[in-house]
Amino acid sequence: MPTNIKENGFETLIVEYLVSQNGYEEDSNEDYNKTYVIDETRLFRFLNETQKQKMDELRILESEIEKRNS
């Protein structure tokens, strides 16, 4: 297979290395919120893994607010 020496080939090589050697995750842009400039899926996964108690408290508060507004 010939080596792709164009910019997209170099980018692919870098991404493959970061994913395989450094634990990076490759994903699509579907979860990326352009308004807030953040990947919401990864943000909430991180918050749920590292601050579970606070996230649970926020879910309870959110549920109570929804009940009041219905």
DSSP for 27-49 reads --STTEETTTTEEHHHHHHHHHH
Q: What is the pLDDT of residue 35?
A: 93
Q: What is the pLDDT of residue 1?
A: 65
Phi, psi (rounded to 5 degrees) for 33: -95, 110
Q: What is the pLDDT of residue 13?
A: 92
Per-residue pLDDT 10s for the chain (70 aa) are 677 889 999 999 999 999 999 999 888 888 888 999 999 888 889 999 999 999 999 988 888 888 888 7
Q: What is the pLDDT of residue 65?
A: 82
Q: Which residues, 6 or more positions from 47, have their beta carbon under 8 angstroms from its beta carbon? A: 54, 55
Q: What is the pLDDT of residue 19?
A: 95
